[in-house]
Amino acid sequence: MAMSKTRGQRAGEFPPSPPPLPIPVVDSHTHLDITVSEAGVPGGVTELITRAADAGVDRLVQVGVDVETSRWGVAVAAEHEAVVATVAIHPNDAPRLPDLDEALRQIEALAAHDRVRGIGETGLDTFRTGDEGRAAQEASFRAHIAIAKRYGKPLVIHDRDAHADVLRVLDSEGAPETVVLHCFSGDAEFAAECVRRGYVLSFAGTVTFTSAGALREAARVTPLKQMLVETDAPYLTPMPYRGRPNASYLIPLTVRGLAETTGADLDELCAAISETGDRVFGPW
């Protein structure tokens, strides 16, 4: 099935479809709304879901980054059985909101919905948020941890250049039962710390980048039962299509890259990712 591109903000055409996976897996972190609006998908969400299923990616986690996108994700998850949602205020947005407490109240109200299967993406980002916004960002992170614990839902963490502080806050608050490190970006030492705590590491297309040797070392120390894969679409497109729009149907490139990196049998890796996806976010 060909997927064309309408005029959008993200340059380039969608890459061709890779061979499908032998066992279907979950895309643990995607932004269907941004993919449609920025990359341009004439068939919208339905086209993205269909193309993903054809590639062996039969479950998608639509991730919220503010109140509006969180509400949108809940509505899409209610309409499409292949999709579940997470809800949150993105860490880079938290310092910019005129009333963070009110936004958090709205996120908590959404958290009760059955199709909401995670709280995130929340966390810390010292790359885009300066010193002046750090206190609000951390307060928001702590509030999301509390929401995840109250509702018994997994916490989906955005961590950019903040590894030690993420662990500090989680240890201070007491982590929810299930924690997912979205787009894991640490080295083997940080991965080992996360694995020891029982966290799940979700690897994006970045693990296939030529420059990502440290990230591949991290993947090698991650047990298969604590590993997920994601697109973060429309961003982080795996090699050899880095820079072009990403979508869930390209997950097989990342999975095969992980199999090569870890030495895992492809069928075994797919089965483990599928099982972990259901354990963390399911049942669909």
Q: What is the pLDDT of residue 68?
A: 97
Q: What pTM was computed for the model?
A: 0.95
Q: What is the 3-state secondary structure (H, E, C) of the chain?
A: CCCCCCCCCCCCCCCCCCCCCCCCEEEEEECHHHHHHHHHCCCHHHHHHHHHHHCCEEEEEEECCCHHHHHHHHHHHHHCCCEEEEECCCCCCHHHCCCHHHHHHHHHHHHCCCCEEEEEEEEEECCCCCHHHHHHHHHHHHHHHHHHHHHCCCEEEEEECCHHHHHHHHHHHCCCCCEEECCCCCCHHHHHHHHHCCCEEEECHHHHCCCCHHHHHHHHCCCHHHEEECCCCCCCCCCCCCCCCCCHHHHHHHHHHHHHHHCCCHHHHHHHHHHHHHHHHCCC
Q: What are the boundaries of each domain within the chain?
A: 25-281
Whether omega for the bond prior to residue 42 falls within 30 degrees of 0, making it cis, is no
Confidence of residue 8 (pLDDT cuts 50, 70, 90): very low
Q: What is the pLDDT of residue 134?
A: 87
258-270 mean pLDDT: 98
User: Lowest mean pLDDT: which of 6-15, 61-70, 197-206?
Assistant: 6-15
Percent of the chain with pLDDT strictly greater than 90: 91
Q: What is the pLDDT of residue 185?
A: 96
Q: Is residue 149 packed enough to be buried (19+ CB in 10 Å), middle (13-18) or exposed (0-12)?
A: middle
173-186 mean pLDDT: 98
Q: What is the pLDDT of residue 3?
A: 53
Encode pLDDT of 129-163 as tens digits.
777 778 999 999 999 999 999 999 999 999 999 99
Bridge partners (DSSP) listed for residue 57: 25
Location of structure tokens 């973060």: 232
Encode pLDDT of 21-57 as tens digits.
999 999 999 999 999 998 889 899 999 999 999 999 9
Interacting residues of 284 by C-beta distance below 8 A, sequence separation 6+ = 59, 81, 82, 84, 278
Interacting residues of 70 by C-beta distance below 8 A, sequence separation 6+ = 64, 85, 86, 87, 88, 106, 107, 110
State which fold the 25-281 domain adopts: TIM Barrel (3.20.20)
Q: What is the pLDDT of residue 4?
A: 45
10 pLDDT above the threshold of 80: no
Q: Which two tokens stand for residue 237?
A: 């497109």
